[in-house]
């Protein structure tokens, strides 16, 4: 099932429960459920739920905001970095909430 967002700057996951595994700066593997991507000016931000045995994919929890730092030749994200600036992260998350309001419950 292809999902659609409610804003032109939003790229939702192609299906529910899509996960990726990233390696953090300590070399530890972190599994994340992909919630969508928001295009904001010249930047792109990905939104993810951390998942593990206690928090499976499609469960609610803390949202991690990562900025896309590299894309492949087709424009698909291949590298991300944690957004350290709280103001930028909050603005990007507000855009995500608006764009994804038809897909997720932000209550």
Interval 23-69: pLDDT, tens = 878 888 888 988 999 998 889 999 998 887 776 655 556 889 999 99
Whole-angstrom distance, CA of residue 60 vs CA of residue 46: 16
pLDDT at 3 (0 to 100): 45
What proportion of the chain, given as a percentage, has pLDDT over 90? 28
Query: Looking at the domain assignment, is residue 29 inside a domain?
Result: yes
What proportion of the chain, given as a percentage, has pLDDT over 70? 87
Query: Looking at the domain assignment, is residue 5 inside a domain?
Result: no
Q: Is there a contact between 9 and 39 (Cβ–Cβ < 8 Å)?
A: yes
Residue span of the structural domain in which 35 resides: 10-100
**For residue 95, pLDDT beyond 90:** yes
Query: Looking at the domain assignment, is residue 70 inside a domain?
Result: yes
Show the tokens assigned to 98: 């608006």
Query: Looking at the domain assignment, is residue 106 inside a domain?
Result: no
pLDDT at 70 (0 to 100): 92
Query: Looking at the domain assignment, is residue 3 inside a domain?
Result: no
pLDDT at 63 (0 to 100): 87
pTM: 0.81
Distances (CA, A) of 26 to 22, 30, 49, 70, 86: 11, 11, 19, 20, 22
pLDDT at 90 (0 to 100): 94
Rounded mean pLDDT, 11-25: 81
Structural domain count, the chain: 1
- Which residues are registered as beta bridge partners of 50? 32
Give the H/E segment covering residue 34.
strand 29-40
């Amino acid at each position: 099932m292809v999902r659609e967002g409610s804003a032109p700057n939003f790229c939702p996951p192609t299906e529910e429960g899509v996960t990726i595994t990233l390696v953090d700066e300590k070399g530890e593997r972190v599994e994340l459920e992909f919630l969508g991507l928001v295009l904001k000016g010249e930047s792109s931000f990905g939104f993810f739920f951390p998942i593990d045995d206690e928090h499976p994919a499609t469960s609610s929890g803390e949202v991690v905001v990562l900025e896309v730092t590299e894309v492949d030749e087709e424009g698909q994200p291949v590298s991300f970095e944690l957004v350290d600036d709280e103001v930028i992260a909050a603005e990007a998350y507000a855009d995500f909430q608006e764009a994804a309001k038809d897909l997720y419950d932000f209550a």
